[in-house]
Amino acid sequence: MRLEDTLQQQDPIDAGESARLFAVGGACLALLAAVGMTAVSAREVASWPLEIGAIVVVALTGTVVTVAASPFRSPFRLRSHVLVLGLSLLAFLLDELAQLGSNGLVHDDWGLVTVPIFLFVVSIMRPPQEVLVGGLVAALVVGATAALVSPFIALQISPFTRASVAMTSVVAPACAAAAFARVALARLQRTTAKRNGINTVDEVVRLSVQQETIARLEAEVVPLISDILADDVLTEGDGRRARAIATGLRTALLADLRRDWLSEAGFVVTDRQSYVERMSPDQRTAVRGLLGALPLLDPARPGTAVVVGQDREAVLELTVPVRSRPPRSVLAPLLPVLRSVFAHVDLRSDEHAVVLVAEVPVAR
């Protein structure tokens, strides 16, 4: 699955988890702004059914963005962005219609506060350029609405001036939200680049094999050489001993190189086409992260792994017995990570086991 250039997908643990808190906070702030500003300027409301409908739409927008930002639904897609932006603009339109004929100004209406709030909420979950485009579209809708209702506003100025003032209230926050997303992404990429010196999973495996080989050399070869130097003569027995050591080292090295990492983790693996060994280091790390977070029933025998597929696509079904059902707060941060490296992840849990079913794209 291709990762998009978003904070939520590039940093699924930190930004992915904070996206939900960001959404909840933004939704509450938008709703409080709508209710509070309506109460302050209640005399300007000409149609209470429309005004109440506008506030309900704000609440609905907050609910949608909060649900869509959940780690269990990650990642936040373009369609969710369009839905949130559309609902926030609908709330703005209803608010303007509710005040039609009795509104003193447009630029002090709560719609020009709630729309930017939702733009900032979306900025942590969508690409910067998309956030900017969405903000500009919202500004055009706001400007057109301000121009259309201008003849019905108490303070009379030209529709163009009124539209310009209203658009400024949206364009500036949209640019700020896009800039925030871009700067945060750039900082994240610089931090990732600094961590490039950290060994990958495959490098760690190779290093482990090398260390075990060196340990065998120190345990068997060094004593042989010491004995030869002490006797100051090379005998036929020393030759046989050297050949036996070399054969043992070669056999052990080949066994290490063929080692199945899931089997080493304690799984009974069914993988006739060797998809497990073709999984990327990120995919392996995501699975290990899942195992590390679960209350395993028996760490030495955590469960079964069945992998079936065709060509470069496989389906992995991982069953992990657990002592107790893990809480949602444990599984939530793991889902964005799993979905960043696997396609169509399904994570189920009960009192006895956690089952991961994921589509696994692999290299040839």
| Exposed e or buried b per residue across 210-240, where buried means at least 16 C-beta atoms within 10 angstroms of its C-beta | eeeeeeeeeebbeeeeeeeeeeeeeeeeeee
pLDDT for 227 beyond 80? no
pLDDT digits (tens, 9 = 90+) for 115-124: 999 999 999 9
Whole-number pLDDT of residue 196: 46
Confidence of residue 208 (pLDDT cuts 50, 70, 90): very low
The answer to whether 53 and 76 have CB atoms below 8 angstroms apart is no
Whole-number pLDDT of residue 39: 94
Q: What is the spatial distance between Cα 178 and Cα 122, in angstroms, rounded to a whole number? A: 10
Whole-number pLDDT of residue 218: 65
Q: What is the spatial distance between Cα 334 and Cα 328, in angstroms, rounded to a whole number? A: 10
- Coil, helix or strand at residue 76: coil
Across 177-191, 223-237, 345-359, least confident range: 223-237
pLDDT for 217 beyond 50? yes
Whole-number pLDDT of residue 254: 53
Confidence of residue 71 (pLDDT cuts 50, 70, 90): confident
Whole-number pLDDT of residue 195: 47
Whole-number pLDDT of residue 74: 77
Confidence of residue 101 (pLDDT cuts 50, 70, 90): confident
Q: What DSSP character marks residue 104?
A: S
Whole-number pLDDT of residue 83: 96
pLDDT digits (tens, 9 = 90+) for 251-262: 665 555 445 577
Confidence of residue 312 (pLDDT cuts 50, 70, 90): confident
pLDDT for 94 beyond 90? yes
Whole-number pLDDT of residue 108: 83
Across 58-67, 142-151, 339-348, least confident range: 339-348
Whole-number pLDDT of residue 193: 52
Whole-number pLDDT of residue 216: 61
Whole-number pLDDT of residue 204: 44
Which CATH superfamily does the domain covering 262-361 fall into? Answer: Histidine kinase-like ATPase, C-terminal domain (3.30.565.10)
Highest mean pLDDT among 10-19, 186-195, 200-209, 302-311: 302-311
Q: What DSSP character marks residue 294?
A: S
Residues in a beta bridge with 267: 303
Whole-number pLDDT of residue 229: 75
Across 73-82, 149-158, 350-359, least confident range: 149-158
Q: What is the spatial distance between Cα 20 and Cα 31, in angstroms, rounded to a whole number? A: 17
- Coil, helix or strand at residue 5: coil
- Mean pLDDT, to the nearest integer, of 136-141? 96
Whole-number pLDDT of residue 246: 77
pLDDT digits (tens, 9 = 90+) for 149-187: 888 887 778 889 889 989 999 999 999 999 999 998 888
User: Does residue 361 have a cis peptide bond before it, meaning omega lies within 30 degrees of 0?
Assistant: no
User: Does residue 75 have a cis peptide bond before it, meaning omega lies within 30 degrees of 0?
Assistant: yes
Pairing of the two strands 267-270 and 303-310: parallel
- Mean pLDDT, to the nearest integer, of 242-267? 67
The answer to whether 331 and 16 have CB atoms below 8 angstroms apart is no
pLDDT for 90 beyond 90? yes
pTM score above 0.85: no
